Structure 1
């Protein structure tokens, strides 16, 4: 009996000696922006890379000038574009049967799957919420039932299963109606398919607590917990498996920049380490930075998507063993 106890104690000590724990990390952010005069074109690509990243947080935050907005300009502006609101002229077009399916409707959330009549990729990704599912949705929308809006469902999150794009926004302040999206982003093994994409093989959504389980075509996976939806922020806590390799981006922010007053992101604010002083530079002046947290922001009110949120990546972690 004593011998067995000693063996059990030894095994427990050995297990504890190799327990993984999260350690703060920094990532490299590369600016791959190209010039454009079109306010409806995603010409901004901010590429995030890091070695061994296993988790991080991404948030949509109200712009710092939100209280100074006199007129919220949310209408699209195709005045300097070579397309007029339809598909981009360089995109392929695959046809689908249009539909809208309420996948879940509960006291806090409503989750909707939408299939568009056409989309630029043919990919069909199985999406499941409880007993309801579909494999042809181009948008999965999450609506929060806002107390501030008398229980009206307010859209706060959209995931595009066929190309891996996400969009977030906080719940809008009362005077801003339904609010507006700005920048989008990708999370997972990013690759180039004419534009950055993440190939997802399946999506499972849990409603209590609200979270997404993504399996990627390369065999990896991500767990995305919706940590908060409020007027201050919509926040996601992301876990990646396996840990990232620095040779491949694990996230890309996609946005628009024409000028400092016509942009969905016009400057970056970041800390190079968790204890470093905060730095801010205009987007065109940045080629690459090392960051423990980075906010893709605007301090000059934009004449495009004026109230659209800032997007911040933070709390990068690696798994280490003691």
Structure 2
């Protein structure tokens, strides 16, 4: 259930104060373009839902439990390469750059465990400095965030790939689903194309109290990403873009997979044209372009692939109608 408007406004104002941002903003809508291409491969990101909007300074991204969660009897999480021209190795069109593999614990606290992974190969050669506390590493391909609870093992809820800017997030799964499973990915920032959509990040700073990421982009500007919630209901990120967006370049892209309605990580789009409009819904293939104040990418038919993978919702789009944000996160 969504929170009342006055609670949302209070939370936004508090978060803006935490980031040193003047809390002067107005609600906004964004355009969404469907650049999905057909595929028979359930392990290929063929879905691209591209978000554009002029002057967007803030928005929220959430991973939510699928609406059919209670109806899941078997959670199908195994890879399915039956319709693919590769079998679990790198995609045949990807470059391959070699690295010395390693795993390093970057932070271990009461609430969070943050781990950095260097993969033996990655499709991009980019090295992005990642700072956590006093420590900086420049060869991390995968940042993992685990939520910690007393008496329970840490559970992963969020990952970020510094070298291409892909985020994946999921709510904490019910106990019967073990570690749960990711589905769609999200790009946030100045999106470019390099064989596929990417965000080129120049550096990342991770703050642990409260948990937040400061991303500085190679194209200029930055994003402050605060982890607002990690729970069994949702994993939520509040995002501030500095400077606000320009309409000609996407500021976010949802990347996912669609083969059929029952074999997809996202199969439909739900949206509100304005914050007070009634919700609308269409099957993914029937969407070309739309204007929305809120978007949810999900499934209402249980999928035989990544059955428990979350829906992804974008909301809270706001324009910056006040002075330039104060630079308090450095």
Q: Give the TM-score taking structure 1 as reference length.
A: 0.93
Structure 2: which 5+ residue stretches go unaligned? 1-21, 324-330
Look up the SS of the partner of 1:41 in the other structure: coil
Deviation, structure 1 residue 219:
1.5
Deviation, structure 1 residue 146:
3.4
- In 2, the alpha carbon distance for the partners of 1:146 and 1:258 equals 37
Aligned to 1:180: 181
- In 1, the alpha carbon distance for the partners of 2:172 and 2:63 equals 10
The answer as to whether partners of 1:126 and 1:203 remain within 8 angstroms in 2 is: yes
Correspondences of 1:282-297 after superposition (within 5 Å): 282-297=283-298
- Choose which of 120, 123, 129 in structure 1 pairs with 2:123: 120
Aligned to 1:65: 68
**Does residue 1:269 correspond to 2:270, yes or no?**
yes
The answer as to whether partners of 1:103 and 1:133 remain within 8 angstroms in 2 is: no
The answer as to whether partners of 1:39 and 1:262 remain within 8 angstroms in 2 is: yes
- In 2, the alpha carbon distance for the partners of 1:47 and 1:301 equals 25
- In 2, the alpha carbon distance for the partners of 1:271 and 1:286 equals 14
Aligned to 2:170: 169
- In 1, the alpha carbon distance for the partners of 2:283 and 2:185 equals 19
Aligned to 1:157: 158
Aligned to 1:225: 226
Deviation, structure 1 residue 157:
0.3
- Choose which of 101, 105, 110 in structure 1 pairs with 2:104: 101
- In 2, the alpha carbon distance for the partners of 1:146 and 1:265 equals 30
RMSD, aligned CA: 1.0
Correspondences of 1:41-52 after superposition (within 5 Å): 41-52=44-55
- In 2, the alpha carbon distance for the partners of 1:142 and 1:22 equals 30
- In 1, the alpha carbon distance for the partners of 2:214 and 2:23 equals 22
- In 2, the alpha carbon distance for the partners of 1:151 and 1:301 equals 29
Correspondences of 1:255-266 after superposition (within 5 Å): 255-266=256-267
Deviation, structure 1 residue 20:
6.8
Deviation, structure 1 residue 151:
2.4
Aligned to 1:6: none
- In 1, the alpha carbon distance for the partners of 2:99 and 2:85 equals 25
**Does residue 1:204 correspond to 2:205, yes or no?**
yes
Deviation, structure 1 residue 321:
3.8
- In 2, the alpha carbon distance for the partners of 1:84 and 1:212 equals 34
**Does residue 1:74 correspond to 2:51, yes or no?**
no
- Choose which of 143, 146, 169 in structure 2 pairs with 1:143: 146
**Does residue 1:235 correspond to 2:233, yes or no?**
no
Look up the SS of the partner of 2:285 in the other structure: helix
Q: Give the TM-score taking structure 2 as reference length.
A: 0.90
The count of corresponding residues between Structure 1 and Structure 2 is 302
Look up the SS of the partner of 1:67 in the other structure: helix
The answer as to whether partners of 1:20 and 1:320 remain within 8 angstroms in 2 is: no
Look up the SS of the partner of 1:213 in the other structure: strand
**CA deviation profile, 1:150-205 (whole Å, cap 9, x unmatched):** 32110000000000000000000010000000000100000000100000000000
State the 4+ residue runs in structure 1 displaced beyond 3 angstroms.
none
The answer as to whether partners of 1:266 and 1:283 remain within 8 angstroms in 2 is: yes
Correspondences of 1:125-136 after superposition (within 5 Å): 125-136=128-139
